[in-house]
């Protein structure tokens, strides 16, 4: 894993170190030396989730009409891609969730349980529950946003190189 802090010793400026890495990766991809080994596109099953399709229908698509292409970048596709990245991050982790449960005596008991989400749809369903604690969701989103690195896997001659971009 390449760390930007090590390059700071050479470049003495984080901005130039990041620009140099990005430039080198772009040229290596163009020359065919590097190849992404993860699937960059969002799978169809994810777009067809009830919550994702409803949310996506609220956004405007591309201004370009009469050109059917998934390569056109719009705000809608960018948001969907970022939501997909959040979904991949979410499904790999286990979270501690506080849940209010009703008892037969018409009172509530707060319980803490470990939960692993299958996809982001489960997270949205949890929000729709009566007496849902939004602090759980806020904590999960903050944890995602505070992750230090985004790791992008590349292939070099059949071996995987993980590049961490801050």
Strands (E), the chain: 35-36, 94-102, 108-116, 150-156, 159-165
Beta carbons of 158 and 37 less than 8 angstroms apart: no
The per-residue pLDDT for 72 is 60
The per-residue pLDDT for 166 is 45
The per-residue pLDDT for 158 is 47
Mean pLDDT of the chain: 76
Between 80 and 69, name the one with better pLDDT.
80
Highest mean pLDDT (candidates 1-5, 84-88, 151-155): 84-88
The per-residue pLDDT for 8 is 65
- Mean pLDDT along residues 4-26: 72
Beta carbons of 80 and 111 less than 8 angstroms apart: no
| pLDDT over 70 (residue 161) | no
Torsion angle of the four alpha carbons 87, 91, 93, 96, in this order, in degrees rounded to the nearest 10: 90
Both tokens assigned to 53: 């399709």
Between 55 and 61, name the one with better pLDDT.
55
pTM comes to 0.63
Which of 77, 51, 47, 41 has the alpha carbon at shortest distance from 62? 77
* Cα separation, 73 vs 83, whole angstroms: 15
Integer-rounded Cα Rg, in Å, for the chain is 21
Torsion angle of the four alpha carbons 157, 72, 42, 151, in this order, in degrees rounded to the nearest 10: 50
């Amino acid at each position: 894993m390449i760390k930007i802090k090590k390059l700071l010793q050479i470049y003495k400026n984080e901005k130039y170190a990041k620009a140099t890495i990005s430039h080198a990766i772009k040229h290596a991809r163009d020359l065919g030396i590097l190849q992404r080994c993860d699937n960059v596109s969002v799978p169809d099953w994810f777009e067809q989730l009830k919550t994702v399709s409803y949310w996506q229908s609220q956004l405007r698509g591309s201004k370009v009409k009469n050109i059917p292409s998934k390569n056109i970048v719009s705000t809608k596709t960018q948001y969907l891609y970022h939501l997909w990245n959040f979904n991949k991050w979410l499904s790999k982790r286990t979270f501690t969730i506080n849940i209010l449960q009703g008892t037969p005596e018409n009172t509530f008991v707060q319980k803490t349980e470990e939960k692993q989400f299958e996809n982001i749809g489960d997270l949205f369903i949890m929000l729709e529950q009566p007496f849902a604690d939004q602090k759980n969701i806020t904590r999960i989103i903050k944890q995602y946003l505070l992750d230090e690195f985004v790791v992008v896997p590349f292939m070099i001659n059949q071996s995987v190189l993980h590049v961490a971009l801050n």
